[in-house]
Amino acid sequence: MEDGVFIGVDVGSVSTNLVVMAPEGPILRKIYLRTEGNPVGSVQKAFREVAPEFSRVKVLGVGVTGSGRQLIGAIIGADVVIYEITAHGVAALRAHPGVRTVLEIGGQDSKIILIDRGVAVDFGMNTVCAAGTGSFLDQQAHRLNLSISEFGEIALRSKHPVRIAGRCSVFAESDMIHKQQMGHSLEDIVAGLCEALVRNYLNNVGKGKEILPPVLFQGGVAANAGIKRAFEKELGYEVIVPEYYDTMGAWGVALLAQEEKVEYGSSRFRGFQLGEEEIGIDSFECPDCPNCCEVINVRINQRQISGWGDRCGKWQRINAEATG
């Protein structure tokens, strides 16, 4: 097997994850960072962190997934750009080949993937209501003056979780205040908030879907032991949190980059020095036809490297010629 590494990057609205993977499959290094509204800056920071260790290692392939995959894929020279449902499903199957259901909860969205005999047969997403995502817990933890890292531990101490309306973050806040005024303990209120998130998730993302074990729970929220227990209480069986629960999307797209290497051959990766380079992005409205497409341009060290957004492909061709 060829020596080198594969890189996977998952760029989301809340977190940016990068993994460096050996050809045999294990992760050599993983990075989990807050995106903080700056996907380009967070990816550059991730590359700066891994560059000292891997800058002299041959990169065999690079994959990108997540909501920022198109932009970041163009910047780093990705060989594979994949929808996050596929990436999470591939990683789940590698972590637990018999998995039937994948529950994934991130900061701003949540997903469910149903798998039958190693093939994803159905999925669902929630990108509208924050009450079924990690941001719901962040908001409530802030109102209770707790760090999110304390949330799960406190929930596990609860003996009698209170029922809190979890269909909406606004309703949850008012209901939580009401329960505090009634004298319920902090532990029972925190556990109630965990159960409210799980009910919202199952009612909206998992609505009408048959959730079968083995069940994997992944995404940043999987670190919360209170949510894991709430899922197990609601579903009636064990929920498994895999080793790389917080970087499963990045690991999955690295695995896909390895699988598809036979198609792309040599990697187009631009190099670890990306962490130090000047990256600029601008846009303009093309006046050439009534579509008035917004065209996005990406420059590295003042050199045009990519452009997209036009329906006719004109600016994509111009940019391809400029970089070719």
Do residues 62 and 26 both lie within one domain?
A: yes
CA 9, CA 78: separation in Å to the nearest integer?
9
pLDDT category of residue 19 using cuts at 50, 70 and 90: very high
pLDDT number for residue 321: 55
Higher pLDDT, 109 or 169: 109
Do residues 230 and 110 both lie within one domain?
A: yes
pLDDT number for residue 256: 97
Do residues 283 and 268 both lie within one domain?
A: no
7 has which bridge partners?
Answer: 20, 62
Do residues 216 and 229 both lie within one domain?
A: yes
Spacing of C-alpha 306 from chain mean position:
24
pLDDT number for residue 20: 98
Report the DSSP pairing between strands 15-21 and 27-34: antiparallel
pLDDT number for residue 26: 86
CA 23, CA 192: separation in Å to the nearest integer?
44
pLDDT category of residue 139 using cuts at 50, 70 and 90: confident
Average pLDDT score over the chain: 88
CA 140, CA 273: separation in Å to the nearest integer?
40
For 117, phi and psi rounded to 5 degrees?
55, 45
Do residues 144 and 213 both lie within one domain?
A: yes
Task: Indicate whether 315 pLDDT > 80.
Answer: no
Do residues 255 and 226 both lie within one domain?
A: no
Q: Long-range contacts: 52-59, Cβ < 8 Å, 24+?
A: 53/20, 53/29, 54/5, 54/20, 54/28, 54/29, 54/272, 55/272, 55/273, 57/4, 57/5, 58/2, 58/3, 58/4, 58/5, 59/4, 59/5, 59/6, 59/7, 59/267, 59/269
* Digit-coded pLDDT (tens) for 63-97: 999 988 988 998 999 999 999 999 999 999 999 99
CA 88, CA 253: separation in Å to the nearest integer?
8
Task: Indicate whether 100 pLDDT > 90.
Answer: yes
Task: Indicate whether 299 pLDDT > 90.
Answer: no
| % of the chain at pLDDT higher than 90 | 54
Q: How many independent structural domains does the chain possess?
A: 3
| % of the chain at pLDDT higher than 70 | 92
* Digit-coded pLDDT (tens) for 165-201: 766 666 777 888 888 888 899 999 999 988 988 888 8
Do residues 176 and 102 both lie within one domain?
A: yes
pLDDT number for residue 134: 67
Do residues 107 and 228 both lie within one domain?
A: yes
Quickly count: other Cβ atoms within 10 Å of residue 303's Cβ.
Answer: 12
Of 218, 241, 264, which one is at a domain's C-terminal end?
Answer: 241
Task: Give the domain extent around 40.
Answer: 5-88+249-276
For 259-307, what is the HEC assignment?
HCHHHHCCCCCCCHHHHHCCEEEEEEECCCCCCCCEEEEEEECCEEEEE
Do residues 176 and 106 both lie within one domain?
A: yes
CA 264, CA 208: separation in Å to the nearest integer?
40
User: Could you write out the DSSP letters of every residue in 56-110?
Assistant: TSPEEEEEEESTTHHHHHHHHT-SEE--HHHHHHHHHHHH-TT--EEEEE-SS-E
Task: Determine if the pTM surpasses 0.85.
Answer: yes
Task: Indicate whether 38 pLDDT > 80.
Answer: yes
* CB-based contact 18:43 (threshold 8 Å): yes
Task: Indicate whether 307 pLDDT > 80.
Answer: no
